[in-house]
Amino acid sequence: MNKWFRAALCAACVAAVPAIANADASSGGGIHQGDILARLRGISIQPNIGQSDMLSSLGVQVNNAIVPELDFTYMIRDSIGVELILGTSRHQLTSTALGNLGGVNVLPPTLLLQYHFNHAGKIRPYLGAGLNYTYFYNDGLHVGDQGIQVTRSSFGPALQAGVDFQVAKNLFVNADIKKIWMRTNATLGDTNLGTLHIDPVIVGVGVGMKF
């Protein structure tokens, strides 16, 4: 009897899965084509420094930064979205040979194409890949009284992985990690110092709303 009871119970559970999924969708669960997702995260930007030419011998380092980040995703299909990431940060640079080199602001808008798994559920992992444009501004980099000039912008790829946890009909919490490739060339007077590859890993947590 127990064998038949377990079999009947398993069959009932399997039969109930579509009903539960339909109930979740009808109650506003998940995301669908045409939805707009807005997220506000706190992010930790952790540069992964690579250097060339003279910068390598100078031991240049870029400090971490913790800043807010805003992003918007438009769902062009139930499982496919396009995300625009907006944020800015300021980083201090140091050199093992020259000491403090000053600071620079970084504005890296990033556009990503995402695939959302389990789009109709309440736990929705996603992967993204796209393009980053980085603009360097408000820099005060220097060696002594002599200024360091940097290339103002760069383009590079970006990768992303994250997950949304729905906690109410239109509210969710988010965890996200990105890898962005960015670089700048530096000169001191007439001397080319080489290319500084910043290439940060960006880890964030935050909240989001579905519209």
pLDDT for residue 46:
95
Q: Higher pLDDT residue, 6 or 114?
A: 114
Say what the pTM is.
0.80
pLDDT for residue 28:
56
Angle at 162 between CA 207 and CA 125, to 5 degrees: 100
pLDDT band at 20 (very low <50, low <70, confident <90, very high): very low
